[in-house]
Structure 1
Amino acid sequence: MSTTAPARSALLLRRALCAAALALALAAAACLLACASQESSDGNGLVRSYDDQETVTLSFFALSAVPGMWPDDIVSLDGSTIHVVEDHADYYAKGTTQESYRGFLASRLAENSVDAYIVPAEDVIDFDRHGYLMDLSGLDAASTLSVDALAQSTYDGKVFSIPLSYTGFGFIWNKDMLDAHGLSVPEDLGQFLHVCETLKAAGITPYVANNDFALTAPAMAVGFADLYASDDAEQLLADLSSGATPVSTYMEKGFAFVEMLADKGYLDVDRTLSTAPNNDVEPFLAQEGAFVCGLVGRPGLADAEFATAGTAMPVLDEGSVAVVGADRRMAINPSSEKREYAVEAIEALCAPDNLKRIAGIKGQLTPLADDESNAAGEAYASLVETVRSGNQIPNQDFRLHFNTWASIRDLCRELLAGSSAHDVALRYDDMQRAEVAQYDAQAPSAAE
C-alpha cells in the first residue's frame, strides 16, 4: 500500500519528535547518574566521589560513634577521594561494653577486615605481639602531641597510635549534698575519710561505684602514687618491667584501699559488682551517693540537677592524684592493603584544628602540646589542672612489659567477691612474672 506525501511528512515529523524526546530522556538520565556519582549519603555524612577521580574506601572500627569526627573531603596526595566507612561495636549489641568491643576488634584484625581502628590500652601489648600495630612515628600528627600524650602512645619505641584526646580519671562530687551535710570537697585522704564517714553516719553510701574504672582508678592511684612521684621513677619502672621488683610492692596498698572502701561500707559491694561501667550515672543523678568516678567531661552528667565538681582523687596523705591516659587511640592495621591511604586519613583526622574541634564536641582535652583549652568547662577545672601538671599515673604505662589497667580491674573484682588484698596482690605477682617471661621470650635478642 502506497502512502501519500502529506502522510509521509506527518510520519517523519512524529518520528523526529520521538527521537528528540528520547534524546532528552537519555540526557536527563545521564545527568542524574552523574549527580548520583558525585553526591550520595551513607548515614555517616556526605560522601563525594567524582568521575575524574578514584575513590578509596577505608574501613574503620570503634566502640561507638563520635558524630562529625571525620573532616569533609579527605583527598589523597594521588588525587583519590578517601571515603571512610565507620563500623561500631554498639551496632551489633545493645549496651556493648569495652570488653565485648575488644572481642569484635580482635576478630576483625585476625580476618584482616579492618584498615584503621581504636586500640584499647589493655590490648596494646598483645596486639604488638600479633603484629596488629603499625608504627606511626613518621606521621606529622605524632610531632604535635604533648610529651605525656606521646608517651601514652609509644610502646617499645613504636608510636602505635595517635589519640583524639587526652584525659584523666578523678572523682566527680555532688557539691549540694556535701553542703547539706556541712562538708566541703575533700583535698586529701584525711578529708576524704571524714566525708565518707559523715555521709555513712547519715545513712548514705558515699561512693556510687561500677565494676570497672571505679575500682581500677583509685586502686592504681593509691598503689602507684609514690612510684610516679619519685625522683628515681625511671629506674623503679625499669625494675618493675624486668620483674626484679614484684608489682605487689606497690599494688598491695592499692588493693587494700579498695578493700577498706568495701569493709567500711563506703561502697555497696553487691551493687558495685553488678554495675556496668556506664550504669553508675543514673543512681548518681538520683543523688543516691555523693561522688562517682569519671573522666574529664564524663558524658551523662551535664543534666545533673545539682552542682558538680570534678577533682583528682584525694586518696593521698598529702593531696590528690589522677590516673591519666590518651583516649580514643587511632591505630592502623599494618596488614591493610590500603594502609598508605589510612595514614593520610589519620593525618587529616588528627590535624590540630580538627582535634580541637573534636575536643569541643566531646567536652574533653586535646592531646596537643601547648594547648591550654578546656572544653570540659569550669566544673572540671581542678581535675584538668592536675591532669596537665604531669607526674600523674598512666592507665597503662607502656614502659612496663605487663598489663596494669585490665589486670588491676579483674583483681579488684576478685577482691570484692571475697579475696583479700594480700591474696590478689600475690596473684598479680604471678601475672607479672608470666607476662614478663612471655615478653622476654619474644624479644629480638631471644630469637637470635
Structure 2
Amino acid sequence: MKMNRKGSLHKLWATCLIGIMILPLTACGKTNTHENLVSAEDADERIINLFGPMEKSKPNVSNIARTAFDLTVEMAEEKLELTVRYRTYTAENYQERTYDEVTLDRVRNNMDDLYLLNPDTIQILGAEGELLDLSVLESAKNLREAVKTANTVDGKLVAIPQEVVAHGLFLNKDMFDQYELALPNTPEEFMECCRVFKENGIETPIGANRWWLENFVFAQAYAELYNGGDTEALIEALNEGEAKYSDYMRPGFEYLKELIDKGYIDAETAYTYEAIEGEGADFLDQKTPIVMAYWGAANSDIAYGKTDFNLQVIGFPSKLGQMPVVSMTGYAIGKDAEHLEDTIAVLDTILSDEALKLYTETNKVISPSQNIEVECIDALKPLNDKINENIYVLGSNAGMKVEQWGNTCLIVRELLNGATVDECMEAFDKLQEEALNK
C-alpha cells in the first residue's frame, strides 16, 4: 500500500491534540476581520500582541479553559499596567489555511509578539532560530523536566505551556473486577485482559478512534529512552542517524497489528471515528471496557466526567509498567518581537507560580511548574502519581528532528487502513532520511 502523507500533517493537529486548550476552536472561531489583521496602537498605551486560536472570553460565556487563561492575562495587565491585545485565527480569514500554516507565516514575518504554538511549529520555528530562548524567564526555573525536554531545540527553551496534557487508558474498573482482572501494567498483561473480555462476549474490548492509538506506540517505543537515564544521548543518536526511529517504533506497530488481528480493535470502525465522539457512547454504555483519552476528558461532563461505573485512568502498557504519554502546546516569543521587554514580562507573569496555581485550580490540570500540585479526582490519581514520579514518555518533543505526534498519528492511520508494519516502518525511515538531509 502506498503511503500518501504529503500535506496531511498540518491538517490533523487540531484533532490529534484535542485535549489542549488551543485546539477545540482552531477551525471554527468567529472574530472581526479587522481585529485579526490590523494593529492600530494608541501612542500612550503599552500593548503587546498575542496571536492565538480564540478571542478573549465574552461575558456570560462558559469557556473554562479560556477563562483561566484570561484570568492570568488580566493578572499580567494589572501588574505591568499594559494591554494584551488578542489577534485571533479564523479559517475564513485565512482562506482555509490551517492554524499551523498561519502561525509559521506570522512568526517568520514578525507580525506579533507572543504566540500559542503547536508542537510541530515549535520544532520548525525553533530550528529556524525564530523564537526567543525562554530560559531568561524567572519562571523557567520552576519547570518540570518534561516541559523543558519537550520544548528545547538546539539547546534553547523556545516554548512553555500553561498545562501539561497527559494521555492514558480510561478503564471501566467494574468490568475488570467482574472478570477478576488486575489493571494491566505490561503489553502482555493488557493483551491477556483483552483475551478474557473477548472470550466472555465483549465483541470489541478496546474502543478506538483514528487519532489516539499512537499512544500505545509511544509508550512501548520510548519507555526506556525517557526513563533510562541517557535520554539526551539516545535522542542525539536519532538526530544524527546513528539510530533509527523505525527500530523504536516497530514493537508498538507490531503490537497494534496483533490487537487488530485478534479483533480487540475494530480497525475499520476506528478509522472513521473522531476522538470521544465515536467510541465514547459504547464506553459510557459499558459495552466496551477500554478507551483512551487525555486528562481533561475525565473532568468534562461532555466526555467521561460522569460515568455510572468506577472509572480508572492509567498509563499505557510498556515494559516498564503503566506509562503516561505527555504532549503539550506552548507559548513562544518571536526573537525580534516589537515589544520584546514587555512581552517577556507578560509571559513571565502568566507562567509564574501564582498565575499557574490559579490556572491549575480553575482547570484541574497538570501544571508545568514542579511546585504546583493538582487536586485531581480519584480516577486520575494513578496517572497523576506517575507524572509526579517523573515517569512518562513524550508524544511531542521539539528536540527530535522528526516530528513525533502528527507523523506517528498519520502512519498509525495507514496501519488501520491496511498498510503492513514494514510499510509503516518504511515511512518512518523516509521521514528520518528527509530530516537528515535538511
Q: What is the TM-score of this pair, normalised by structure 2?
A: 0.78
- The Cα of 1:236 is off from its aligned counterpart by 2.8
| Matching residue within 59, 62, 69 for 2:53 | 62
1:302 equivalenced with 2:305 (yes/no): yes
Q: Which residue of 1 aligns with 2:118?
A: 120
Distance 1:210 1:140 in 2: 40
State the AA in 2 paired with 1:291.
I
Alpha-carbon distance change, 159 to 369 in structure 1, aligned in 2, over 3 angstroms: same
Distance 2:54 2:45 in 1: 29
TM-superposition CA deviations, 1:84-105 (whole Å, max 9, x none): 3263559989xx9xx9432443
Q: Which residue of 2 aligns with 1:136?
A: 134
1:166 equivalenced with 2:164 (yes/no): yes
- The Cα of 1:269 is off from its aligned counterpart by 0.9
Contact 2:91–2:98 (8 Å) recurs in 1: no
- The Cα of 1:389 is off from its aligned counterpart by 1.9
TM-superposition CA deviations, 1:241-274 (whole Å, max 9, x none): 2001122221111111121221111111122112
Q: Which residue of 2 aligns with 1:430?
A: 430
Q: Which residue of 2 aligns with 1:365?
A: 366
Distance 1:172 1:185 in 2: 11
- The Cα of 1:233 is off from its aligned counterpart by 4.1
Q: Which residue of 1 aligns with 2:377?
A: 377
Alpha-carbon distance change, 404 to 75 in structure 1, aligned in 2, over 3 angstroms: closer
TM-superposition CA deviations, 1:368-404 (whole Å, max 9, x none): 1243x23332211111111222253212334422222
What pairs up with 1:105-254 in 2 under 5 angstroms? 105-109=103-107, 112-201=110-199, 202-212=201-211, 214-254=212-252
- The Cα of 1:232 is off from its aligned counterpart by 4.4
Distance 2:428 2:43 in 1: 59
Alpha-carbon distance change, 195 to 134 in structure 1, aligned in 2, over 3 angstroms: same
Q: Which moved more, 1:279-288 or 1:214-223?
A: 279-288
TM-superposition CA deviations, 1:257-301 (whole Å, max 9, x none): 121221111111122112223424444323342122122333422
Distance 1:219 1:260 in 2: 13
TM-superposition CA deviations, 1:394-445 (whole Å, max 9, x none): 123344222222221111111111111122112211211210221xxxxxxx
Alpha-carbon distance change, 245 to 328 in structure 1, aligned in 2, over 3 angstroms: closer
Alpha-carbon distance change, 258 to 192 in structure 1, aligned in 2, over 3 angstroms: same
State the AA in 2 paired with 1:260.
E
Contact 2:159–2:331 (8 Å) recurs in 1: yes
Tell me the SS of whatever aligns to 1:267: coil
Distance 1:52 1:104 in 2: 28
Alpha-carbon distance change, 278 to 82 in structure 1, aligned in 2, over 3 angstroms: farther
Tell me the SS of whatever aligns to 1:169: strand
Distance 1:185 1:349 in 2: 38
Alpha-carbon distance change, 90 to 322 in structure 1, aligned in 2, over 3 angstroms: farther
Contact 2:127–2:153 (8 Å) recurs in 1: no
Contact 2:213–2:412 (8 Å) recurs in 1: yes
Q: Which residue of 2 aligns with 1:409?
A: 409
Q: Which moved more, 1:103-112 or 1:289-298?
A: 103-112
Unpaired stretches in structure 1, ≥5 consecutive residues: 1-41, 44-50, 439-448
Distance 2:210 2:333 in 1: 30
Aligned residues: 381
Relative contact order: is structure 1 or structure 2 higher (C-alpha 8 Å, sep ≥ 6)? 2
Identity %: 23
Q: How big is the alpha-carbon RMSD for the aligned residues of Structure 1 and Structure 2?
A: 3.0
Tell me the SS of whatever aligns to 2:88: strand
Distance 1:205 1:92 in 2: 43
TM-superposition CA deviations, 1:135-176 (whole Å, max 9, x none): 211111211212332222211111111221224222111122
Q: Which moved more, 1:185-194 or 1:237-246?
A: 185-194
State the AA in 1 paired with 2:409.
R
Contact 2:217–2:249 (8 Å) recurs in 1: yes
- The Cα of 1:321 is off from its aligned counterpart by 1.7
State the AA in 2 paired with 1:313.
F
State the AA in 1 paired with 2:317.
P
Instruction: Give the number of the structure whose alpha-carbon radius of gyration is greater.
Output: 1
Q: What is the TM-score of this pair, normalised by structure 1?
A: 0.76
Distance 2:424 2:142 in 1: 40
State the AA in 1 paired with 2:145.
V
Q: 1 or 2, which has the higher strand percentage?
A: 1
Distance 1:92 1:283 in 2: 38
- The Cα of 1:360 is off from its aligned counterpart by 1.7
Distance 1:336 1:283 in 2: 49
Alpha-carbon distance change, 143 to 433 in structure 1, aligned in 2, over 3 angstroms: same
Contact 1:224–1:250 (8 Å) recurs in 2: yes
Distance 1:53 1:110 in 2: 28
Alpha-carbon distance change, 84 to 73 in structure 1, aligned in 2, over 3 angstroms: farther
Q: Which residue of 2 aligns with 1:255?
A: 253
Contact 1:208–1:283 (8 Å) recurs in 2: yes
Tell me the SS of whatever aligns to 1:402: coil
Alpha-carbon distance change, 277 to 111 in structure 1, aligned in 2, over 3 angstroms: farther
- The Cα of 1:75 is off from its aligned counterpart by 4.2
Distance 1:209 1:361 in 2: 30
TM-superposition CA deviations, 1:97-148 (whole Å, max 9, x none): xx94324433544564443222111222222244442221111121121233
Tell me the SS of whatever aligns to 1:330: strand
Alpha-carbon distance change, 161 to 231 in structure 1, aligned in 2, over 3 angstroms: closer
Contact 1:208–1:267 (8 Å) recurs in 2: yes
Tell me the SS of whatever aligns to 2:347: helix
